Structure 1
């Protein structure tokens, strides 16, 4: 079997510089050389897409990466695609690709929490899991995947939950789709595939605001009409906001600016008809908000992609008062 490893940088590709800090320097070939236990039956090739820390990844680079993944999918000699990158924005980049990719070739993202200069670096083990995942019998038809700490997650569900710990990547509520036991990927669950969005790269924009709602947040934190292409809100609880921010949100709604709401809670979804006070989920309905089941950062990525695909109405639900 043939697997392409696309290297984009991040901790997994980092080494210490003269100042003592780590920065991305390793190539895809370097990463493969560090992995023990690779089967001789797997032919590995590399593509050094970039070598940057993941907070520097741009929206346009995410699209370029999705196009590169699609290009390898069209190559009949490629059986699996692995992308290595930094963990800070890995869930966003993987979800972007998941939204844009409609190929059959399995795609897995992975990275590391400990760079190779530290004790017990996790990059080699995570890369080994990724390679074994894309070559496993159950990998096809599951969308873009993410492997960390001997677990396989769906890109649309996984999130980074701890700033430094090795088990940081978790899928709240549903858990991993598979586990890596010895040399075997054991599939335990599946999720519905992410609908693919055909993106116009000329209309891609990063002008989507992402705000976490907090107690009595000042109305000045809500953007003015014309400042952004859309606004994403992580509301409290099941869709609740302080009344002070309702007037500026109403101003945005009058300008037909897309307002996309989710919950700031780690698990759960927005309510539709549980409460009915000023600032409850009924207020979100009155504002014409779109509802998302993803976390704030993924909801922003979905909004960016949906705007570029003229498909906000199909990507998100827009419930009305009952």
Structure 2
């Protein structure tokens, strides 16, 4: 289902049905089941396999790909540059707000200052070989699992939006998104024009329900990361839940597919970007977009307890 009030083709530019149907981000029609490119770092030693995986995504109807310059310190963006062709019609979404830190406890460090955001956009443009990135998410460090800002990395949202708006006015980015943002932060940012929100969210971790409702009201795409939970040891996993397993058995699907399908059914503005470095898993993720959940299955899944397990790193 596309966002309310929109109409769009169910086929990609290459004539393939869009998995999950058609959705909208920044005024662009995209597949509701997209692809998150972070795990392509795992294929650093086999570049041909990584490019083949991206080409397979296009064959399957994926035309929304999420990336970042800090994925493999530019390696993943280079793959995207070489794998996709103009005729594929792929909408590439990137993000800023962190830089690579290969020697750190985690491989990222905050990069929240306005000059760092601008530099990161420039790095993304160069690595992707683009004149304009369709959407760039400002990854705040306010909410959800992951990094936290300290010292001079604690930057007011208005100062960050000022540089992001300037980059949009200059034509270097097409639209602004937000990631790891609070409800108050999104409300403050609405006048700047927000195309999408990326927060950690899954069937078993639904603390951002009010934020999701605001996105739906404002026709902002909701792009949950960690859609199956479990990214850190303290986070609950969708696939461990008995209700998810029961629905999966009844439909002959995997628990992962049911977790993804629930997200698509739960809110019409949801766009998924599950990541993998495995072609079989990619095909299974795409197939989740075809799953129909009847009222009984949805009731069982909706009744699953939402549990927190967020941790801060850094």
Which of the two has greater strand per residue? 1
* TM-score scaled by length of structure 1: 0.27
Which structure is larger by alpha-carbon Rg, 1 or 2?
Answer: 1
TM-score by structure 2 length?
0.27
Which has more helix, going by share of residues?
A: 2
Q: Which has the higher contact order (CA 8 A, sep 6+)?
A: 2
